[in-house]
Amino acid sequence: MRPPAPLPARLSSMPFTVHEARAARLSNGRLRSSDIASTGRLLYLPAGWEFELHGLSRALSAATPGAWISHITAAVLWGLWLPAWLQDCRQLHLSKPKTLPPVRREGVIGHTVLAFEDETMIWEGMRISTPARTWLDLAALLPLADLVAVGDQLVRQPRNGLEERTEPWSTVERLQCMLNKHPKMKGIVKAREALLLIRPGADSAPETFLRLALGEAGLPEPELQVRIVPGDPFSPAADMGYRRHRIAIQYDGGHHLTREQQSRDNRRDEVFNRAGWRYFKFNADDLAKDFRGAINQVRLALRGS
């Protein structure tokens, strides 16, 4: 038997829809060849394809008119923080409006929801929920602290020159407006509670967890991105702190282990120390202990100031 003709280059390396196959002039017989696998209605995979979320999401979106990538899948594609138990999830989440039949496709978790026009968008060849709407969808799936961490990520100001974005994905006010439009949505009570705790200024989920832990322990809420000289962009900033008490708090994540970052950290630390601030640095070991030791240290410093 003669081997099938090679697939077009674009179709040989990523999932594709039946419409893309027709545009490439592939016949029904060619689509039944051993080097192509069908994953359900209108969607095909080339042989040897290794799982890649973006490509499969794009094809799934194209093969399901009126639907959009949502929930955990959208969060991963947007680069939103997720707890470790969700980061490698291979099940795709797809949402449809209530006017369309529910999603029934193997390996896909379908959702039938109410979504307004400004809550979905076209991004890199697929229809997907916006980062803000994705956060709202996560409210039914994540614990409260995790939902706050994702919300902090939405409203933080991107770092100039270090990120492609120049504006936050959303604001607390815009998130509130979206919640007002979905008063009966699953998870809405948790989303409202989370919104009250979201603050601009946290650069990582552990920073959010540290701030929440301080509050849950009855300590005052710290100022985020606290600078020795307020309003001076060239003044060193700590992740959080208490200006009146001259207390600065830093969470050192994995990126602080590089030699270059450690040099910057040391210079920042020295400036705070010379200015007479009490300076605390915490890390993943403290996070693993729910910041209990960190809370005690900060409490003693507040009492002694």
Instruction: Indicate the DSSP class of residue 255.
Output: G
pLDDT digit string (tens) for 13-47? 677 776 677 777 777 777 777 776 766 666 666 77
- Tokens for 285, please give them: 């070991």
The amino acid that residue 135 corresponds to is W
Cα–chain center distance at 222: 24
Strand ranges (E), 89-210:
92-97, 108-113, 120-123, 126-129
Give all strands (DSSP E) within 221-265, no chain letters.
223-227, 237-242, 247-251
d(CA 168, CA 155): 5
For residues 245 and 31, the model is more confident at: 245
- Supply the pLDDT for residue 2: 62
Residue 58 zone, left/alpha/beta (φ > 0; ψ -120 to 50; rest): alpha
Task: Please give the CATH superfamily to which domain 205-304 belongs.
Answer: VSR Endonuclease (3.40.960.10)
pTM, whole model, 2 decimals? 0.84
Please check the confidence at residue 249 and state whether its pLDDT lies above 80: yes
Residue 104: the pLDDT is 80
Q: How many whole angstroms from its chain centre is CA 100?
A: 28
Q: Which helix (H) or strand (E) holds 17?
A: strand 16-17
Residue 153 CB contacts under 8 Å (≥ 6 apart), including other chains: 80, 81, 169, 202, 205
pLDDT in tens, 202-212: 999 999 999 99
* 75-118 confidence digits (pLDDT tens): 999 999 999 888 777 778 999 998 888 888 777 899 999 999 99
Parse the chain into domains and list their residue ranges.
Answer: 1-50, 53-195, 205-304
pLDDT of residue 3: 67
Say whether 57 sits in a helix, a strand or coil: helix
For the segment 121-146, the average pLDDT, to the nearest whole number, is 96
What does the pLDDT look like over 150-181, one tens digit per residue? 999 999 999 877 678 889 999 999 999 999 99
Phi, psi of 129 (to 5 degrees): -70, 145
**What pLDDT is attached to residue 56?**
83
Output the pLDDT for position 231.
84
Cβ neighbours of residue 134 under 8 Å, at least 6 residues apart?
70, 71, 74, 75, 78, 80
